[in-house]
Amino acid sequence: MHPDLAAISNVWQADVRVDTLRAEHEHLVATVTTAIQAHKDAVAARDAAKIALDTVRSSERVNNRELDSYAQKRDVTKRMLDDGSAPNYAIAERQLANCIALVDELETKGLDLLDGIDKATVALAEAEKARVGAEADERAARQALAARDAPLRVELTAALQARERVWSELPPLYHDSYSELRRRKRVALVNVDDGSCSACHMRVAPQKLNEVLMKKAVHTCVGCGGYLLPG
C-alpha cells in the first residue's frame, strides 16, 4: 500500500472507532429516553384503568341503591294489595307493575355493571403488570448506561487522541478531501471489484487501478470520492 494511502487508512480506522463509540453511547442514551417515556405511558395507562374501574364501581353502587329502593317500594305495595290496605287499588296495582318493571331493568343493568367491573379489574391488572415491566425496562436501561458511561468516556478520549495522532501523520494534501468525505458521511476507503468501485459501482480506469496496485499513486473514485484500495 502506498504510504499516503496507509496514512489515510489509519485516519479512517481511527474515525470508525470514534464513530462506533459515539454510536454506542447514543444508543444507550436513546434506549433510556425511550424506556422513560414508555414507563410514563404505562403509569398513565394504569391510572386510566384505575379510574375506569372506580367509575364502573361507583355506577354499580348507585344502581344497587336504586334497585334496593324500588324493591322495597314493590314489597310495600304488594303487602298493601295483599292485605287490602291500599288507599286506591288501581293506583297501587299500577305502582306495583311499575316497580316490578323497574326492578327488572335495574337488575339487568346491575349484571352488566358487574360484568363491567370484572372486565375493568382484568384491564387494571394487565395495565399494572405492563407498568411493572416498563419500570424494570427503565431500570435496566439506566443500569446499562451507567455501567458503560464512564468506560465509554475513557475509551472515547483515547480514541480521539489516537485520531489526532494519525491525523497529524496524514500529509496535509489530503486534509480537505478527507474532511469533505467525512462531512458527507461517505466511506473513505473503497475496494475495487471487477474494475468497479465497491461503494458506488462506478467504473475505475484501469490505469488508475494499476497505479494503486503498483503503489505508485493514490487515487479516488470519480463517483463517490473514496480512496481506492489495492484490493
In the complex, the residues that contact Zn ion under the rule CB under 5 A are 197, 199-200, 202, 221, 223-224
- Shortest distance (Å) from residue 51 CB to Zn ion: 60
Longest Cα separation, the chain: 124
Where are the extended beta strands (E) located within the chain?
Answer: 189-190, 192-193, 196-197, 227-228
- Which residue reads 398513565 in cell numbers? 44
Which of 156, 199 has the CB closer to Zn ion?
A: 199
- Shortest distance (Å) from residue 205 CB to Zn ion: 12
Cβ neighbours of residue 161 under 8 Å, at least 6 residues apart?
none
Report the C-alpha gap between 65 and 227 in whole angstroms: 84
- Shortest distance (Å) from residue 38 CB to Zn ion: 41
Which of 82, 194 has the CB closer to Zn ion?
A: 194
Which of 102, 213 has the CB closer to Zn ion?
A: 213
Cα-to-chain-centroid distance, residue 131? 14
Which of 134, 189 has the CB closer to Zn ion?
A: 189
Which of 98, 191 has the CB closer to Zn ion?
A: 191
- Shortest distance (Å) from residue 204 CB to Zn ion: 8
DSSP string, 139-200: HHHHHHHHHHHHHHHHHHHHHHHHHHHHHHTS-GGGHHHHHHHHHTT--SEE-EETTEETTT
- Shortest distance (Å) from residue 134 CB to Zn ion: 46
